[in-house]
């Protein structure tokens, strides 16, 4: 074996090994996340598809490693696996990204039947044979051209699905690979080095893009799951439990104020104008609260129409923030709020701090509404209740 042959063999083996490692990582990732979802069918299909793709890489790797003719049926199996796994893998990706979209299964089924039919045809007819460096290579023109049909079909089928840019780049990479492969095998019969480099490098790029797609999808779902566990779905504010946990850690280090807001006459608004109007008003109030407290702390939904802001008071006076919130809500929404606040100067724990700010809010509501009250300024008789 000459030095040129050895170099090309090593390059091919490196490409195949890299692709195999990427596929193996995707299998491990799919297995790990499958346990966290009730609908496991899509992951079973994905894992199975990746597994047979890995088998194809092994077959191709053996062909390159031994540098001697492999039985024709193995070439047929290898090429068929490439077609079928490409179809199923793209179907799985479309299924993952088509939440809320009706995904048509008929074109995918027809493509799979076409791949099976071509496999049967190639079992009957002789493959295209090329002798290069005293080694016989087989190819299947019909199946190679069929890959172009698959790529075009995938582009058409994803028009109504919000697929990400890397997905379309992966299809373009696969298109370039097939074009380079056709030129490499059938036009120049493996005699052009630049085509060889394209043929061995493009699959690595393709599988890297597919890995990125899966990783991105998993990351988005994990972030979405985490967000739903700490954020209220309607208002976008932290849920009560997480708000208290977060604020407890802040109180351990800094002086803090709790601003307690309650929407005035919210039940009447709900009863007279309906849930949609009331929910929109609640969302607007929550948005204003979050905008005003974010530079200094956090905001949360305590329950119903009761919203809380927790701010660090080393740079700002809580009365200024509370009054700004109240004024903006009166000006920018159809509702008003009664507001009360207390600081860690009056309470030594979060539970008492919330209770004091709640009492200050109730004092605002019972003495005219649409106003701000500080707990420290409440009458002694009111404080004694707390």
- pLDDT, one tens digit for every residue, the chain (386 residues): 445 455 788 898 999 999 999 999 999 988 877 776 666 788 888 899 999 999 989 888 887 787 666 677 887 888 889 899 999 998 888 888 766 556 677 878 888 999 999 888 888 887 777 776 666 677 788 888 899 889 988 888 787 777 888 999 999 999 999 999 999 888 888 888 899 999 999 999 999 999 999 888 888 877 777 777 889 989 999 999 999 999 999 998 899 999 999 999 999 999 899 999 999 999 999 999 999 999 999 999 998 899 999 999 988 899 999 999 999 999 999 999 999 999 999 888 899 999 999 999 999 999 999 999 999 988 876 666 65
Instruction: Spell out the CATH class of 3-230.
Output: mainly alpha
- Closest by Cα among 24, 25, 152, 30 to 86: 152
- Output DSSP code: residue 185: I
Say what percent of the chain tops pLDDT 70. 91
pLDDT of residue 36: 65
The Cα–Cα gap between 328 and 193 comes to 69
Look-up of token digits 């995938």:
154
Q: Are 181 and 199 in contact (CB under 8 A)?
A: yes
For 225-249, how does the pLDDT look when each residue is reduced to its tens digit (9 = 90+)? 777 788 998 999 999 999 999 999 9
pLDDT of residue 4: 47
- Closest by Cα among 140, 196, 183 to 12: 196
- Output DSSP code: residue 299: E
The helix (run of H) or strand (run of E) holding residue 312 is strand 306-312
For the chain, the first-to-last Cα distance in angstroms comes to 91
Say what percent of the chain tops pLDDT 90. 51
pLDDT of residue 2: 47
Residues 6+ apart with CB under 8 A from 180: 195, 198, 199, 202
The domain defined by 240-385 folds into: Alpha-Beta Plaits (3.30.70)
Q: Computed from CA positions of residues 157, 57, 28, 48, in that sequence, does the dihedral angle turn out positive or negative?
A: positive
- Output DSSP code: residue 238: B
- Residue ranges covered by each domain of the chain: 3-230, 240-385
Residues 6+ apart with CB under 8 A from 338: 261, 262, 264, 361, 362, 364, 365, 369, 370, 371
């Amino acid at each position: 074996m000459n030095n040129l042959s050895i170099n090309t063999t090593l390059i091919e083996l490196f490409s195949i090994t890299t692709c195999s490692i990427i596929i193996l990582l995707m299998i491990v990732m799919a297995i790990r996340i499958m346990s966290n979802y009730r609908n496991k069918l899509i992951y079973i299909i994905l894992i199975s598809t990746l597994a047979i793709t890995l088998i194809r890489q092994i077959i191709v790797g053996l062909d390159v490693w031994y540098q001697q003719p492999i039985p024709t049926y193995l070439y047929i199996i290898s090429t068929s696996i490439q077609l079928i796994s490409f179809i199923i893998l793209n179907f799985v990706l479309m299924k993952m990204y088509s939440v809320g979209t009706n995904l048509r299964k008929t074109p995918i089924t027809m493509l799979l039947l076409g791949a099976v039919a071509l496999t049967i045809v190639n079992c009957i007819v002789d493959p295209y044979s090329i002798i290069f460096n005293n080694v016989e290579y087989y190819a299947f023109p019909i199946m190679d051209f069929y890959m172009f049909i698959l790529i075009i079909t995938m582009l058409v089928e994803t028009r109504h699905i919000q697929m990400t840019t890397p997905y379309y780049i992966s299809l373009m990479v696969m298109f370039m690979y097939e074009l380079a492969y056709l030129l490499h095998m059938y036009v120049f019969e493996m005699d052009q080095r630049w085509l060889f480099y394209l043929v061995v490098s493009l699959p690595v790029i393709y599988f890297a893009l597919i890995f990125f797609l899966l990783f991105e999808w998993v990351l988005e779902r994990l972030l979405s799951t985490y967000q739903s566990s700490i954020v209220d779905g309607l208002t976008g504010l932290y849920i009560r439990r997480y708000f208290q946990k977060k604020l407890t850690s802040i109180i351990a280090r800094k002086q803090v104020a709790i601003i307690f807001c309650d929407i005035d006459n919210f039940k009447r608004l709900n009863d007279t104008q309906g849930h949609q109007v009331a929910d929109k008003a609640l969302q607007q109030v929550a948005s204003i609260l979050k905008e005003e407290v974010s530079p200094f702390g956090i905001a949360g939904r305590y329950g119903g129409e009761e919203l809380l802001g927790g701010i660090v008071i080393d740079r700002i006076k809580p009365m200024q923030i509370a009054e700004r919130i109240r004024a903006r809500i009166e000006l920018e929404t159809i509702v008003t709020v009664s507001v009360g606040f207390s600081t860690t100067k009056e309470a030594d724990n979060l539970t008492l701090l919330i209770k004091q700010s709640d009492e200050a809010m109730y004092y605002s509501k019972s003495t005219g509404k649409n106003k701000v009250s500080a707990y420290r300024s409440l009458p002694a008789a009111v404080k004694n209740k707390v």
